[in-house]
Amino acid sequence: MNTEDLIDALAANLEPVRPLFPPALQLLGWLAASVPAIGGVVALEGLREDLPAKLVDPVFLTEQIAAVATALAAAWAALTACVPGTARWARWLPAVPLTFWMASLARQCWFEWIHAGTSGMVLRPDWMCVPDIALTSALPAFAMVISIRRGARLSSEPMLWGSLAAAALSNAALRLFHAQDAALMVIVWQFGSVTLFTMVLAALRRFLVAERKIVVP
């Protein structure tokens, strides 16, 4: 097929489309829908009694900032990955705050081992983390799915990062009302719930957001 025939084939039966908003505006729209919904859940659950003290605790603040940064970077990556030609560094930007988040939890876990020994490594059941994160992630995940469905969706990255964004933001909210700060418990139950929620939504991406394939006749 020569160039002119290819252009004619691509131009045939074209329909007008509405251009996407810039990823930055889409990110603001996602936050505008997600933050009030998550705030409502936090208000219903009630803030933890020791929150004022926690807000001046460097360890708690570091972990919260890392979780929020992961959510923002993942949401940005999900939205930009829907735009053809996006630089690869932008699509894998969430790996940076996610690694920092994991490292901060691992560091705290190590300090607890040093100071408390095996007594600081006691793992107790905390199954409420899973439904709490799923509940607070529901609307952010739904809003992300709507945004992704309008994009190019040429790979599975948008749904993967979008799921992580919803779960990470939910985890940051969870720690405002769920008084569990032992590093091992946070890693296993809270970060584990984030991982589980991300994997489940990513596995369901074919049903939620099907990938598009470009076919040239």
- Residue 119 in domain: yes
Q: What per-residue confidence (pLDDT) applies to 103?
A: 87
**Residue 117 belongs to a domain:** yes
12 lies in a domain?
A: no
Higher pLDDT, 116 or 216: 116
* 183 occurs within a structural domain: yes
Length of the chain measured in residues: 217
The answer to the question of residue 9 being in a domain is: no
The model's pLDDT over 112-142, given as tens digits with 9 standing for 90+, comes to 667 665 555 555 655 666 777 778 888 888 8
Domain-embedded: residue 46: yes
Give me the number of domains the chain comprises: 1
- What is the arithmetic mean of pLDDT over 145-164? 74
Say what the pLDDT of residue 215 is.
42
Of the candidates 73, 53, 79, 58, which has an alpha carbon nearest to the alpha carbon of residue 153?
A: 79
Contact 23, 83 (CB under 8 A): yes
User: For residue 162, is it within any domain?
Assistant: yes
Alpha carbons 154 and 137: distance in angstroms, whole number: 24
Range of the domain at 187: 24-208
* C-alpha 156 chain-centroid distance: 14
Specify the residue for token string 């039966």. 13
Q: Is residue 97 part of a domain?
A: yes
